[in-house]
Each structure stands twice: as structure tokens, then as C-alpha cells.
Amino acid sequence: MPRYLVELAPLHSELILIIGAMVLLLWGAFRPETERQADIISWAAIGVLALAGIVLARQPLGNNTLFDGSFRFDAFARYVKMIVIISSAGALLLAPNDARRGKYLKFEYAVLLLLATAGMLMMISANDLISLYLSLELQSLALYVLAAFKRDDVRSSEAGLKYFVLGALSSGMLLYGASLVYGFTGATNFNDIAAVALTKGAGQNIGLIFGLVFLMVGLAFKISAVPFHMWTPDVYEGAPTPVTALFAAAPKAAAFALLTRVMITAFGGIKPQWQQIIIFLSIASMVLGAVAAIGQTNVKRLLAYSSIGNMGFVLVGLAAASPEGIEGVLIYLATYLVMTLGAFAVVLCMRRRSGPVEEIADLAGLATTNPGMAATMAIMMFSLAGIPPLAGFWGKYYVFLAAVKADLWPLAIIGVVASVVGAFYYIRIVIVMYVNDAKSGAENRFMRVPLRESTVMALACLITLLGFLPFPLRNGSLGDWIIATASAAARSLFG
């Protein structure tokens, strides 16, 4: 390998994704535009993601910074990047069947997804305000297009437009915040900002605080924390379901990693200031996510509020601002990814001969008509509700534990109450599936579950059910391994 490539080793997975995206774009442009072609390119894109994942996993850790310290590769970055790559690949795997049936199967989908993923990976490693903004926009621009991907569908176009307009607003605020931070610290690099933030009296520097607030608002929009969440239900509902599946997991993890890095690395010195904002965002998200979801009848909107609420729970870990808290964040993100993919795989299979359906009431009697699907959904719902020993319980457990250790008792208590309220709407779905009777008639039956969807469902069930049981893998369970890795990753951020 040439020397410059060796020096760029921490960037290899991003490079693979970008080069892969370019190659596939050219390939697709010069070949006849058929559905078969698009399907092949989807598989090729999954291959690219897999390759990037393998390269990432083999990348040795160390204090790797590139480009004058604006790109940082550490255990934290590797962990979150792995989550992002897996959820992107999962979302891509779920796309072609739905796209073929909805007649929007185009090869650009896979290319855009690769570009968005590349942007996410760079967000996770961003260690400078400039690289922060560039990577965020690379990701966002691709996602705006994906949201509106079903061009001839009004709802999809509306979703894309809303997301774009509000995203632009949030980008503006983020840029304003970045300029303020630069103005009051004289630095764009996180480590340099940290040096200023650590000086005495930085907490009273009103300009710096303003910059911090605007920066946080921009990032809070990306993780759809209340009150910057308004776009989420509409976009989730309007966008094609595979895109929603992508939105719910990968960009959330990436944006959260970015927020975490900015808070811990750059603004660690003024922790008391941002901690209050995080606590506010966390409580607002948990409560609104739980309360508003109850009123929903559409499954995708329900899952949108569910993701708002879940981001609130993850923020509890960040609010603790300790290695334990970040460890909880990372565990939560990993389990959340699995549950989201599992739940969306089920939603994607809610399709009758007449077309897709999205109402919760359409799930009635699923336990008798399609027990496998119903069982998957039930497991995901119980896990999201945080019932032990399912995977979802452990994410909640570790963030609340960290909050308690950081003396944030009220936050932990509100979180527990919110998760009880949340359990109501999760379990209501289970009741609809298992207690209510199905509408009779062949036209009310769901179509057969395709292989890719059922694979994702089976994997999600397996991990959710058994992942955290004391089930010997080689030494300890999958959950033990996740916890250990997350712990190391969280500590690398503080190191």
C-alpha cells in the first residue's frame, strides 16, 4: 500500500464507503435502469458496508488523529461506527422488497445510503468544528433526498421538504453557535476549545455559553430531542418505511456520538452549564415521548415518538457526564439499534394485497394469522418497554444506574416513571396482536413475509431474547461483551 494510504489508516472505512458509493453510482448510471440492476447494486452496497465494517474492526486502536487533529479515531469512535454500519446495512437489507412493491426501487437509494453512512462515520470522528459541520451536512443532505425518495408520493415529498427546511434552520443555528464558540475561544479544534473551557471563569463567559447553546440545539435537532423533535413524527410517517428504519437508528447514533464528543471533549470544563440543558432535553423527551405516543394510531408515528422517548433515556446517560454514563449511552444505543430494526422489519411486512397498511388496529389478531411476526413484535415491544431480561432492560438499567451514581436522583425517577407510562403503549400493541380478533377474509391477510425481513426479525429476536442472558458464548454472553466493549469505549473518551 502506498505510504499516504497507510497514514490514512483510521480513515479507511470512510474511504471505502465513499469510493464504493462513487463506483456504484457510475455503474448504475451506465447500465440499463432495471429493478434487477438496482437490487444487485443494493447487495453490492451491503458488501461495501460489510467491507468497511471488517476494516473498521481490524483497525488497531491508539491515539489516532488525522488532519491536524480534526479527525479522531479511538475506541469510542470504533464502537459507534460499528453500530452505525450495522444499522445502515440492516436498513439497506430491508429496503429492496418494499421498494419493489412500492415501485420506487432505484439504484440511487443504495448510493445515497452509502454517502449518508460515510457522513455519519465522519461525524463520529469529528474533532473540530469544521469537520463537525462538513460531516453533518454530508449526512443530512443524503438523508433529505432519501426522505423524499418516493418522488411521486405526496407524503414522501412533504416529509423530505419538511426535513430539509427544518434541518436548514437547525444547521443555521449550529453554524451560529460554532461561530460564537470560535469567536470567544479562538479555536475550532475541540482540544483547543477544551483548554479555554477549562480556564477559570469560562462558565461565566456568556458568549461561550450562547455558542454552546446554539451548538447543542443544532445537534439536539438531529437526535430529535424535545423541543426540537417536531419534524420527527411527520418525517417518520411520510418517508418510505425502509428510510424510516434507517432514520430511527443510524443517524441517531451518529449524532449522539457527535453530541457526546462535543460535550465531553470540548466543553468538559463547563460541565455544570451544559448538564442542565441536557437534563432539560432528557426530561422533556422522555415525558413527551411517553405521553404523546399514547395518542397515536399509526405504527410509524408511534415508533417516532418511541424514538424521541428513547433518545430522552440515552440523554440520561449523557447527563451523568461520567464514564459510567457514557457506557450506559453506548449500551443503550446498541440495544436500541437491534430493537428498532426488529420492529421496523415487522412494520415493513404489514402489507396486504391492496397495499401497505400502517395503523395499529391493522395488527389485530396477528398472533393467529402470523404468529412469527406477532412474536417478534411482542418481543421488541417488551424490550422497548424495558422488561428484564430482554436487551432493552439493560440499556435503561445502565443509564439510570449512572444517573443515580452521579446524584441525579430526580432524573432517574422521572425516567423510571416515563418508562412505566411508555410501557403502556408498547404493551397495548401486544394486546392488539394477541387479544383482539383478526378481521376475516383473505383480503385482510398480510402478504407472505420475505426472506430478508424474516432474517432480520429472527436475528433481532435472538439478540433481544438471549443476548443478555448468562449464555456462554466463549467467555460470557454477547451482552457481557457489549458491556465490556462499551466500557472501554467510554473510557477512551475521558482518557
Partner 1 sequence: MQNAALLIVFLPLAGALIAGFFGRVLGERPSEVVTTAFLLLAAILSWWVFTQVGFGHAVFKVPVMRWITSGDLDVNWTLRVDTLTAVMLVVVTTVSSLVHLYSIGYMAEDDSRQRFFAYLSLFTFAMLMLVTADNLLQMFFGWEGVGLASYLLIGFWYKKPSANAAAIKAFVVNRVGDFGFALGIFGLFAVCGSINLDQIFGAVPALAGKPFEFLGYQVDTLTCLALLLFMGAMGKSAQFLLHTWLPDAMEGPTPVSALIHAATMVTAGVFMVARLSPVFELAPEALKFVTFIGALTAFFAATVGLVQNDIKRVIAYSTCSQLGYMFVACGVGAYTAGIFHLFTHAFFKALLFLGAGSVIHAMHHEQDMRNMGGLQKLIPKTWAMMLIGTLALTGVGIPGWIGFAGFHSKDAIIESAYAAHTPNNYAFWALVIAAFMTSFYSWRLMFMTFHQPARWGADHAVHDEHAEPATASDHAHDDHGHDHTPRESPLVMLVPLYGLAAGAVLAGVVFTKYFIGTGHGHGEADPYKAFWGPSITEGAHNHILHAMHEIPHWVGFAPFVAMLAGLGLAYVYYIRSPWLPAATARTFRPLYLFFLNRWYIDELYDFLFVRPAFAIGRALWKGGDGTVIDGTIDGTASTVGWFTGRAVRFQTGYVYNYAFVMLIGVAAILTYMIAGGVGR
Indicate the residue among 109 and 163 with the shorter CB distance to partner 1. Answer: 163
**Distant-in-sequence, close-in-space partners of 230: CB < 8 Å, separation ≥ 6:** 166
Q: Does 26 bind partner 1 (CB under 8 A)?
A: no
Nearer to partner 1 by Cβ, of 38 and 209: the residue is 209
Shortest Cβ 324–partner 1 spacing (Å): 17
Smallest gap from Cβ 106 to partner 1, in A, equals 27
Confirm or reject binding of residue 35 to partner 1 (CB under 8 A): no
Is residue 288 near partner 1 by the rule CB under 8 A? yes
Q: Which residues in 393-422 contact partner 1 (CB under 8 A)?
A: 421
Among 26, 206, 469, 484, binds partner 1 (CB under 8 A): 206
The one-letter code for the residue type at 416 is V
**Choices 80-88, 132-140, 158-166, 366-374 (CB under 8 A): range interacting with partner 1:** 158-166
Binding-site member from 11, 124, 277, 346 for partner 1 (CB under 8 A): 277
Q: Nearer Cβ to partner 1, position 87 or 273?
A: 273
Asked if 210 interacts with partner 1 (CB under 8 A), we say yes
Q: How far is CA 274 from CA 40, 63, 166, 414, in A?
A: 47, 27, 23, 19
Burial class (CB in 10 A: 0-12, 13-18, 19+), 258: buried
> Can residue 280 be called a binding residue for partner 1 (CB under 8 A)?
yes
Where do we find the cell 489508516? 9
- The CB-of-493 to partner 1 minimum distance in angstroms stands at 24
Residue 294 Cβ vs partner 1, minimum distance, rounded to whole Å: 5
| Least Å from the CB of residue 213 to partner 1 | 5
> Interacting stretch for partner 1, rule CB under 8 A, among 108-116, 119-127, 191-199, 201-209?
201-209
The amino acid sitting at 251 is P
Q: Which residues contact 205 (CB under 8 A, 6 or more apart)?
A: 184
Q: Judged by CB under 8 A, does residue 480 bind partner 1?
A: no
| 276 lies in the binding site for partner 1 (CB under 8 A) | yes
- Using alpha carbons, select from 206, 199, 203 the residue that is nearest to residue 183: 206
Q: Kindly state whether residue 221 participates in binding partner 1, applying the rule CB under 8 A.
A: yes
- Is residue 388 involved in binding partner 1 (CB under 8 A)? no
How many residues lie near partner 1 (CB under 8 A)? 35
Residues forming contacts to partner 1 in the complex (CB under 8 A) are: 161-162, 165-166, 169-170, 173, 203-204, 206, 209-210, 213-214, 217, 221, 226-228, 230-231, 233-234, 272-273, 276-277, 280, 288, 291-292, 294-296, 421
